[in-house]
A and B are shown apart, each in its own frame.
Chain A
């Protein structure tokens, strides 16, 4: 039922859309029917799939950079309060400044592909950083005391206590970061699209807009949404598989 209901609503919406477009005879450059969008997706697959690959690669690079950067920075913060006090405000500044406003600057100073990845990184790294920090600070006090009693070294405490305890939080951060890196990549591509050559999906959307190729805009949009859903799904699955034996979030309700 959980899956049937949203799908039923989706199908009904599509049918209504198709019907309205056909009865009113709306031209495709105003609003293309779902069937037209689908046909465009097949017809333009060569172009669109290539763009999809470009965007996904950017997203992946941004995501990996954000994951490594966010976790590494959180570990650094955890080692020393002073480092945290010194650097944390900058992380916040980076987070609260809209990436769409930073992107044009980055495009001036960096090579285009690098700038796009950096944008994806900037948008995505903060949730990883703040979640990992939260996780590292959420270690059970008594367990920490136990490690102290048995003379655990800092690397031992990190490996056997802090990282496993923080894992659910880290995975939660990564799940948010996955979707955000896609957003960052798209925003940067749109900003870059006006500045020069680009071939990601967002660039296709912008380009199709100028050419009034509305069906292709919708087709590209559809692919972006699907990409976002798949990214979220994969990360949620990974998180579930890793935590299913022990963490409350991954256990069934009756367990």
Chain B
């Protein structure tokens, strides 16, 4: 398979590009922020994603979805990134669907996701930095489990209809085995979700589980063997976040290059200065390499390849590095206006920082690459 988008994928990209730019441009995100919106995204927009079929993009056709893969999901996420559109697409249609696919939970949750009624949130992180460790306790209790502990950085966690929670049912926090993944519906007793506004104006909840009781059928997959669905979730989430980063970095780069062609100083366009040309050309190179890494990871994931894990880490780390460069160069080359709230480039910087942190930052994934190579 060649490492570029197929004709079908390019056609899909054209559709999505127009759709997102029309329905959720940066001004949409700015309006939500200015209104101090308490949801974190527009439910109406999520409905129109569903009407286009996008919420079921990764769901099999037999179950009513589009039956497409991570390459196509990435095409959507890149446009979400480029427009900084607040959307539950990554957590719900990509990560949650990847975890639930092929399990008993698919029948219960997929119809709502397809209809654009259900939003999912991912309760994975327990500390300021994403790690492989899971400590939140789930003890056997009656016919089910009782969960106690804390989670953080749970995007949409305060409004989600479905929470996917990674918990420990055996062993120590560092152990690979003994993790169980749960699907918990909204409104469970003993669960509090405190939404916190982040630097990019998105909302992420801090969750407290105070003896939250769930039935045994809330378990996704098998008890103590939750790493398998959790890994599916993380692979999809990381690849998706990388695609969204590509959109954020690409959007910031395009804005910056445009600005270089418009802004005059010393009586000439600043884009004619070699000092800036070389920095822009270097940035272009980093973004191109990042784009290739993301597509490689998506294709390997869709092919079910064993090499996917390492490619996913490379893609997440590379997009974090390239996009961080893009937004920094963006603000610097815009000069003073780049520091103003009225101008959009700063939003790109803030969104990039959040996505760089999500599901493990560049250091976390470089460490994974090193581990996999035996050093």
Q: Do A and B bind each other?
A: no
Residue ranges of A at the interface with B (Cβ–Cβ < 8 Å)? none
B residues neighboring A (CB under 8 Å): none
